[in-house]
Structure 1
Amino acid sequence: MNNALRSGLIAVICACAHAGTVPAPSTQFVEVEGSHFVLLTDLPRAAALESVRRMENVLAALFHGSWQGDALPREKLRVLELASARDLHQFASPTMSAFYQPVDLFGEPMLVMSTEQGGSENVVLKHELAHALHGTFLPRSPRWFFEGLACYLETMQFDPARDLYLIGAPSEDRLQYLRYHPETNYGRVLTLPTREAVLLSGQESYAFQSASWLLVFYLANERGKQLDDYIRRITRREDAQAAFHTAFSGLRAEELAEEVGRYLQTLPRHLDPAEAQVSYRLRNVRIAPWEGPLQAREVPAAEVEALHAELFFLSPGLPRAQAHLAESRRAVETALRLDPSHPLALAVEMALPESASTPPPLERIRAAAARRPRDYRVQMLLAFAVGGRRPEERRAALVRAAALVPENAAVLNALAWHDLTHGRVQAALPVAEKAAELAPGRAAVLDTYATALAKASRCAEAVRVEERAVELTAEHASGELRRRLLVRLDAMRAGCDEVPLDEE
């Protein structure tokens, strides 16, 4: 396309973006960025600032009150907090109080919750933060332990009267589930191979989580010193099975399963919080209130509408046949009338079913990139839109995106995978390694790093990293991703000579 026409398109975009015919959304959103969170919310500005401080406090309490590594995670979690649960249920299943989206339309994780249903005290938030913490220092652990530990920490509570956090309270929901399901096979949970555990979903996944929680809860309360020793050993990268055998003095899986089954029968159905302090191994955690710097900005109306469009498109917890696609289309149209170059709105438009058979709007994206030179998301869209037939242009867009956000694991991961699929192993390896350092709890990122190690003939390291990637796929990854990683892991274990590469 000639430069004159391209300039004309940019001019049209600029003119449309300033048209005054589209009303702004009635609700004002604010974005607040702290050390470990980026919050988008419709709360008033002062409440939004306080919400980020509380989330930072929750993360610090989990870190200091639990088994820990050397440092907090480097990757910031994007959180959408809506004041009303009703607003959350406009696009999500009414059964959900919050949800974790492991990959949004730009490959990044996002957690959505409401202030009415817990806010910073939300169980889902604490569960995912626990996974993020343990992903940094537990390189290899059995699936039941990794999941049970997160479930154990999700019950952390703040006691305002004493100004401290309590870790280790029993989970009433999981206890109730296990009592209703006396057929639960704890021995199977303990011995279930990782490649089977990662394929569990729905009710089976919740059952596995709940049984895993009780196993960890029992060990923390009845075999606490041995549990501490076990965690120290696997942190030192000892073989998990050998570490368990040594720490628990040869305790066999079937013996532990029997102990836990009997233990469940001894737990009271109702326990006063004061009694819980005496009956269980609760940890009291008092931390200095977080007082780090906060950056706040008002979110433009087009961005709010684009976010609504993305959430309606995702429709968490609903079958795809019931997804709110009509609402997503309306929100996209509004966002693009407000700002025709908005990258998230363009991404949702491209993701809608009617766009599946049409090529990406390349020239619109080029114009958006010219108008938004500091927005990495447009470069990611451009990398996608140019297609596989223009690998150098695709790589140039990914390099520009990585330069704009050098600490963004999703962008680095995309660049590393592009280089791997085009024979640039030595260029891919340091980029993939940095992405894995930023996001050690994300399966897709570790998969890329493992593949780079394999292609660099560092096969033993590749196997260890890919095993970790497979373990991390259990909770949120699609069945397709889990199967792809298992295929790659098998190839790495066979010697790394023929590790398959997916298309970009």
Structure 2
Amino acid sequence: MGEFAPPRTLGFFAQSATGHRMIALSGDDPAGSVVLRHELGHHLLFLAIPRQPRWFAEGVACYLETTRYDRSRGQWVVGELDQRRLEFSARNPVSHWDAVLKMGPQYMSGNPGRAWAFETHSWLLFHYLANTHPAETEAFLGRLQARMDPVAAFAQSYPGMSEQRIGEGVHAYLNGGKYLQRFFSVAEPEVKIAVRHLSSAETHALRARLLASKMMPGWLRPARKEVALALAADPGEPEALAVDFEITERPLADHIERARTAVRLHPYDARAALLLAERLPSGGERHLAIERALELSQEDPDALRLGAFDSLAGGRFPEGLDRARRAQRLAATDPRALDVLAAALAANGRCAEASQVEQRALEVLPDGTPETTVRQLQERAREMAGGSLCVRPVVEEAGGPETTKHPR
């Protein structure tokens, strides 16, 4: 893990060329299952609530670390105490809770102990609020799910919850509070684990992908080295090419030729077809590459997203909307999937829905999104709201059939 992330990092998320999220865990850590629960908690919570304050995201993920299945009861146990975090909180009381509530991504940089302290303080705050103010916490969750601004959602859900009141309440909670457990009668899932050996090219490509997560300073040079080793073993390795396209500036024509090599060497790998489709200009070859990707992976959200745009460009509006809806169902919080769904709704005359979906795409943009991308989505959302990007249903005459004007 030390090659890919700062010291004492036990796990992190990365994203593959197909958009699937991967969890990297330290093989030397005996608490690997705890880290897995923490990271899965982040992933599942984000699917339900894309816009979260940092303290809430970390507090809930830490809260879920102690989740376990009690086979004697046939129930899941949630909310058990983490003794380490409890003792740390008692030894290191928070003097400024506003700093915890307002913390941004900067807690991830610098001293690893600082990040763990912030996570622990967030865990304690969520534990306190969930157990002593359950109705207010339920209301807070509902407002976050409704995409309300987190600061406003907190103020409306916990009226009068000042920094002083939080401090006093947490202090009392630590010194004799009731630490509730919650029990859920949900069947234990059947887990199937698939294990396969990776080729040398795949191994180097995967290492390049983890380095390209940018968890470590100086990541670029070793990432490029891993890409070079992968492509030396397999010039068409799709994951290695995807990383290379992201981290090395090359002419578009070079990207296209390399992607064609991937398709030639990996004709049954949807990732190769997608690499090519994403870079080709509009035309017959791009259409065929998209259809090939969909044939090889019918439930791939990126293939469906590109397929939706291809359908819209070809004037096949109902097909485009169907593909866009499927892409968004599979990647519910991906801003690109939401963007194509908004475009498909607009092309099918669903103006109000299109504007709302485009606004949601803006809300789930990840930290660090280029400002140009943000402005493009903002402009599209405004144009959809104003109707200039939207095809409006038009009634020909009273009592006559409804027809829809489509852009030519």
- Please report the TM-score for the alignment, with normalisation by the length of structure 2: 0.72
Cα distance in 1 for residues equivalent to 2:181 and 2:47 = 24
In structure 1, the residue corresponding to 2:386 is in which secondary structure?
coil
Match of 1:478 in 2: 369
AA in 2 matched with 1:108: H
Q: Does 1:381 align with 2:278?
A: no
Cα distance in 1 for residues equivalent to 2:183 and 2:158 = 32
Alignment of 1:158-237 (within 5 A): 158=68, 166-169=77-80, 176=89, 182-185=95-98, 200-203=104-107, 216-225=126-135, 227-228=137-138
Cα distance in 1 for residues equivalent to 2:203 and 2:308 = 31
Q: Does 1:497 align with 2:373?
A: no
Task: With a CA cutoff of 8 Å and minimum separation of 6, indicate the structure with the bigger relative contact order.
Answer: 1
- Would the alpha carbon gap of residues 157 and 402 (structure 1) be closer, same or farther in structure 2, given more than 3 Å must change? same
In structure 1, the residue corresponding to 2:24 is in which secondary structure?
strand
| Deviation string, structure 1 residues 241-299 (Cα, Å, up to 9, x no partner) | 9xx89xx9x86544365542322222438xxxxx9xx8312224576554355544322
Structure 1 vs Structure 2 CA RMSD: 4.5
| Deviation string, structure 1 residues 111-130 (Cα, Å, up to 9, x no partner) | 2112323565243x434433
Match of 1:432 in 2: 324
Alpha-carbon contact 2:89-2:124 (below 8 Å) kept: no
Alpha-carbon contact 2:346-2:384 (below 8 Å) kept: no
- Would the alpha carbon gap of residues 350 and 151 (structure 1) be closer, same or farther in structure 2, given more than 3 Å must change? closer
AA in 2 matched with 1:368: A
Q: Does 1:400 align with 2:292?
A: yes
Match of 2:61 in 1: 151
TM-superposed CA distance for 1:497, in Å, is: 2.6
Match of 1:457 in 2: 349
In structure 1, the residue corresponding to 2:25 is in which secondary structure?
strand
- Would the alpha carbon gap of residues 437 and 176 (structure 1) be closer, same or farther in structure 2, given more than 3 Å must change? same
TM-superposed CA distance for 1:401, in Å, is: 0.8
Match of 1:126 in 2: 37
- Please report the TM-score for the alignment, with normalisation by the length of structure 1: 0.60
Alpha-carbon contact 1:97-1:117 (below 8 Å) kept: yes
- Would the alpha carbon gap of residues 162 and 491 (structure 1) be closer, same or farther in structure 2, given more than 3 Å must change? same
Alpha-carbon contact 1:187-1:257 (below 8 Å) kept: no
Cα distance in 2 for residues equivalent to 1:366 and 1:443 = 27
Alpha-carbon contact 1:214-1:260 (below 8 Å) kept: no
AA in 1 matched with 2:214: P
Alpha-carbon contact 2:140-2:157 (below 8 Å) kept: no
In structure 2, the residue corresponding to 1:182 is in which secondary structure?
coil
Which of 312, 328, 333 lines up with 2:223 in the alignment? Answer: 328
TM-superposed CA distance for 1:428, in Å, is: 2.6
Cα distance in 2 for residues equivalent to 1:118 and 1:104 = 26
Structure 1 residue ranges without an equivalent (≥5): 1-87, 190-196, 270-274, 500-504
Match of 2:171 in 1: 265
Alignment of 1:102-117 (within 5 A): 103-117=15-29
- Would the alpha carbon gap of residues 252 and 393 (structure 1) be closer, same or farther in structure 2, given more than 3 Å must change? same
Match of 1:303 in 2: 202
Cα distance in 1 for residues equivalent to 2:71 and 2:202 = 40
Q: Does 1:255 align with 2:153?
A: no
Cα distance in 2 for residues equivalent to 1:450 and 1:120 = 40
- Would the alpha carbon gap of residues 458 and 156 (structure 1) be closer, same or farther in structure 2, given more than 3 Å must change? farther
- Would the alpha carbon gap of residues 158 and 375 (structure 1) be closer, same or farther in structure 2, given more than 3 Å must change? same
AA in 1 matched with 2:25: M
AA in 2 matched with 1:96: T
Which of 215, 222, 228 lines up with 1:317 in the alignment? Answer: 215
In structure 2, the residue corresponding to 1:255 is in which secondary structure?
coil
- Would the alpha carbon gap of residues 420 and 210 (structure 1) be closer, same or farther in structure 2, given more than 3 Å must change? farther
Alpha-carbon contact 2:308-2:321 (below 8 Å) kept: yes
- Would the alpha carbon gap of residues 155 and 364 (structure 1) be closer, same or farther in structure 2, given more than 3 Å must change? closer
Match of 2:396 in 1: none
In structure 2, the residue corresponding to 1:435 is in which secondary structure?
helix
AA in 2 matched with 1:376: A
In structure 1, the residue corresponding to 2:3 is in which secondary structure?
coil
Cα distance in 1 for residues equivalent to 2:63 and 2:10 = 18
Cα distance in 1 for residues equivalent to 2:25 and 2:108 = 24
- Would the alpha carbon gap of residues 96 and 392 (structure 1) be closer, same or farther in structure 2, given more than 3 Å must change? farther
Cα distance in 2 for residues equivalent to 1:94 and 1:185 = 28
Match of 2:112 in 1: none
Structure 2 residue ranges without an equivalent (≥5): 110-114, 391-408
Match of 2:283 in 1: 391
